[in-house]
A and B are shown apart, each in its own frame.
Chain A
Amino acid sequence: MSDAILEVRDLHTHFFLRRGVVKAVDGVSFTLKRGEVLGLVGESGCGKSLTALSVMRLLPKGGARTLKGEVLLDGEDLLERTPAEMREIRGRRLSMVLQDPQTSLNPVFTVGDQLREAIERRRQGASLSEIMKEAVAALRRVEIAAPEQRIGQYPHQMSGGMKQRVVGAIAISGEPQVLIADEPTTALDVTIQLQYLKLLKRLQAENGMAILFITHDFGVVGRMCDRVAVMYAGRIVECGPVKRIFEAPAHPYTRALIASVPKMAGSAGRLATIEGQPPSLMDLPMGCRFAARCPEVEQRCLDAYPGTVRVGDEHTADCWKVAAG
C-alpha cells in the first residue's frame, strides 16, 4: 500500500470562454498522504478552489473543462470514472466542506433531513430511527449542543459557526478517506475559526482521514497542516513540510506570502505587501509567472519557466535561483 491517498499529476483545468481561454489550473501536481493535512495556499483567484472542484469532478457550469492530468484516489484515476461511479465515490471516499456555511445548507430542509441523506448512503436498509440516531451522534461528534433538538431545526435557525459544523458533519458522515476543506473558516468569526480548526483536527485524528486544506491564510497553515503546497497563477510553486517552509522558504513568492502574515509580537511597522498583480490567466507569461513581481528577477526568469527543483527532503520549488543554488 502506497502512503499516498490522493495524487494529482499535471492537472489542467481551463475555462473556455468566448473571449479566450482562462488557464485557471495549469499543470498542478501534489500528493496527499494518508492521514496528513496538506495545506493548499495562495491568493484569491490562483486556482485553489478550481483544483478542488476538478478533483471532485464538480466543475462549475460555463465552460470549465479538465483537459489533462491524473487524479489518483488510492491509485484509481478519478478522471476516468463515469458520472455514476463518481457519485459512488463522492461522500463515501472523497468529500468536501465548502466555504460559506450560510449558503451550503438547503434552506427548506431540516438539518436532520440533510444529514440523513448522507448517512443513508452508507447505511442502506437501516431503519429511519437508526439513521436518525446516527444523525444525532454525528451532530454530537461535531460538538453541537442539544443535538436532539437541533436535528429538527432549519439552517436559518442556526448561527454560522453551527451551520459550518453541520456541513462538516454531513461531509464526514460517509467516513471519507479524503476531505477537501475549501477555506472552511474564511466566513466565520475569528473566535469561531479557531474552534472549528480544532474540531477538524480532532475529527481527523479520530478517523484518520487525510485533509486537503485550502486557505489563503498562512497563519492557519501553521496551525493545521503537516505539509503545505503554495499555489500561484495556476501552478504549485513550492511544496514542503510546514516547518521547513516557514523556516526556509525557497520560492520568493512563498517568502513574500509569509512576510505578509501579520505578527502579534514585535514589529509595529507597516505590513509587508507584494507589489503588483498576478498575471492574467488568459495571457500567461512565457517564463516564471511570478517574475513580474519578483524582487530577484533575472533574464532567464523571463525567458523560460523553471522546472520543479528538489530543495531538500520532501521540499520542492519552481525557481531558477533555487536551481542554481
Chain B
Amino acid sequence: MKRYIARRLLQGVVLLFMVATIVFFLGRLTGNPVDLMLPEDATAEDRANLTQTLGLDGPLGEQFLIFAGKALHGDLGNSIRMKQPAVDAFFDRLPNTLVLIPWALLLGMVLGIPLGVVAALNRGGLLDRAAGTIAVLGVAMPSFWLGILLIFVFSVELGWLPSSRMGGPAHYVLPVITLGTFLVAGFMRITRSAMLEVMESEFVKLARIKGLSETAVIWKHCLRNALIPVLTLWGVFVSNLITGAIVTETVFAWPGIGRLTYEAVIYRDFPLLQAVIILKSILILVINLGVDILYAYVDPRIRLA
C-alpha cells in the first residue's frame, strides 16, 4: 500500500512537470500582458520598462528556467494583476469552488444513480428511452448555454433565484444545477450499463433462489456491485467539475478558482495562470489517488500493489 502510494506520487510529480511546461509555453502564445496593462498611447520605453519589471524580457527558455527553479522551491510568483502571490490568490478562492463541487456531485448521484437503475430495469422500455434522452441532453447541453438559460428563466423571467455572485443558499441553486447536469447523465449511463451486466450474474440468481425480495436483489446485491465502476469514475467526474467550474463560475460571477482561471487567461496573468493550473493539477491528482484508495475498500477483491 505504501509503495503503491509512493509510486503514484512519483508519477504525479512527472505529470506536474509536464503540465507546468505546457501551461508555461501555451500561455505565452496568447500575447503580451503589457499590451493590456498600458494605455494605447504608451511609449516604447514604457513598454520595455514594464516588460522588464514583469520579468518578461529575455529569451523564453531562460524565463522558463527561472520559473521552474522558483517553482521547485514552492514559489510560483506574484499575480501581475492582483499584486499578491499567485498561490495565495488561488487558496483565497479555492473554498468558494469547493463548496459548489460536493453539491454538484450529490445532484449527479442522487438523480443519476437511481435513473440508471430504473433504466436498466426497464431496458428497451419507455423509461429507459426517457432516461437515455435525459442523458443525451445532459451531455449535449453546453454549460454556458444551460447557465444562461437558467438565469433567463429563473432570475429574469420568474425572479425566483439570484443570477450571480455568492450569497445565501438560493445563490447555490443555479450554479449547482449548471455544474451538475452533465454528471446526472454520466452517473446514469454508467449505473445503467453496470447494472445490466450485474443483473445477469449467477449470484443474482442465487439471491433470488434464497427468496430475497426484488428490492433487496436490485438495490442491495446488484447496485452494490454496479457502484464499483461508478466509483472509479468519481475521480474523473470531480476533475470534470473542477475544470467545468471555469465556465459555470464565469457565467454566474462566482468567485472561485474557475473564474480565477478565466481571469488569468483573459488578462494574460501568466504567473497566476501557471499557479492555478499547477495547483488544480495537484488537487486532481490527490483526489484521484484518494478515489483509488477508497475503491480498494469498496471492492474487497482489490488489494493495491
Q: How many residue pairs at the A-B interface have CB separations less than 8 Å?
A: 77
B125 to chain A, nearest CB (A): 12
Inter-chain CA distance A100–B200, complex, in Å, is 14
Q: Tell me, yes or no, whether B213 is within 8 Å of chain A by CB.
A: yes
| B298 cross-chain contacts in A, Cβ below 8 A | 108
In the complex the two chains form, is A90's CB within 8 Å of B209's CB? yes
Q: Tell me, yes or no, whether A211 is within 8 Å of chain B by CB.
A: no
B225 to chain A, nearest CB (A): 6
Residues of A within 8 A of B (CB): 56, 58, 61, 83, 87-92, 95-96, 98-100, 103-109, 117-118, 121, 154, 156, 167, 170-171, 174
CB-nearest residue of chain A relative to B201? A103
In the complex the two chains form, is A103's CB within 8 Å of B216's CB? no
Binary contact readout B190-207 vs A (1 if CB under 8 angstroms, 0 otherwise): 000000000111110111
B122 to chain A, nearest CB (A): 12
In the complex the two chains form, is B203's CB within 8 Å of A106's CB? yes
In the complex the two chains form, is A58's CB within 8 Å of B208's CB? yes
Q: Known pairs A90-B210, A103-B202; list 20 more (Cβ under 8 Å).
A: A58-B205, A87-B213, A90-B208, A91-B210, A91-B212, A96-B209, A98-B209, A99-B202, A103-B201, A103-B203, A104-B206, A106-B206, A107-B300, A108-B225, A108-B300, A109-B221, A117-B207, A121-B210, A170-B206, A171-B209
Q: Tell me, yes or no, whether B2 is within 8 Å of chain A by CB.
A: no
Which residue in A83, A95, A107 is a CB contact (below 8 Å) of B209? A95
In the complex the two chains form, is B209's CB within 8 Å of A108's CB? no
Question: Chain B interface: which size bin?
Answer: 20 to 34
Contact flag A107-B205 (CB < 8 Å), given A117-B216, A170-B210: no
In the complex the two chains form, is A109's CB within 8 Å of B211's CB? no
| B206 cross-chain contacts in A, Cβ below 8 A | 98, 104-106, 167, 170-171
Max chain A Cβ within 10 angstroms of own Cβ: one of B206, B213, B216, B299: B206
CB-nearest residue of chain A relative to B213? A87
In the complex the two chains form, is B211's CB within 8 Å of A89's CB? yes
> What DSSP secondary structure best describes chain B's contact surface?
helix
Residues of B within 8 A of A (CB): 199-203, 205-214, 216, 221, 224-225, 228, 298-301
Contact flag A121-B221 (CB < 8 Å), given A107-B301, A108-B298, A167-B206: no
Contact flag A92-B301 (CB < 8 Å), given A104-B202, A117-B216: no
Contacts A/B (CB < 8 Å), 27 sampled: A58-B205, A87-B212, A88-B211, A91-B209, A91-B210, A91-B211, A91-B212, A92-B211, A95-B209, A98-B205, A99-B202, A100-B202, A103-B203, A104-B202, A104-B203, A105-B206, A106-B207, A106-B225, A107-B299, A107-B301, A108-B298, A108-B299, A109-B221, A117-B207, A117-B210, A156-B300, A174-B210
Which residue in A92, A98, A108, A156 is a CB contact (below 8 Å) of B224? A108
CB-nearest residue of chain B relative to A153? B300
| B216 cross-chain contacts in A, Cβ below 8 A | 117
In the complex the two chains form, is A174's CB within 8 Å of B211's CB? yes
| A104 cross-chain contacts in B, Cβ below 8 A | 202-203, 205-206
| A92 cross-chain contacts in B, Cβ below 8 A | 211
| A109 cross-chain contacts in B, Cβ below 8 A | 221, 224
Inter-chain CA distance A96–B202, complex, in Å, is 12
A204 to chain B, nearest CB (A): 18
In the complex the two chains form, is A105's CB within 8 Å of B203's CB? yes
Inter-chain CA distance A252–B212, complex, in Å, is 43
Inter-chain CA distance A258–B301, complex, in Å, is 43
A81 to chain B, nearest CB (A): 12
B35 to chain A, nearest CB (A): 59
In the complex the two chains form, is A98's CB within 8 Å of B202's CB? yes
Inter-chain CA distance A104–B228, complex, in Å, is 18
In the complex the two chains form, is A58's CB within 8 Å of B209's CB? yes
Inter-chain CA distance A109–B210, complex, in Å, is 15
In the complex the two chains form, is B203's CB within 8 Å of A87's CB? no
| A118 cross-chain contacts in B, Cβ below 8 A | 210-211
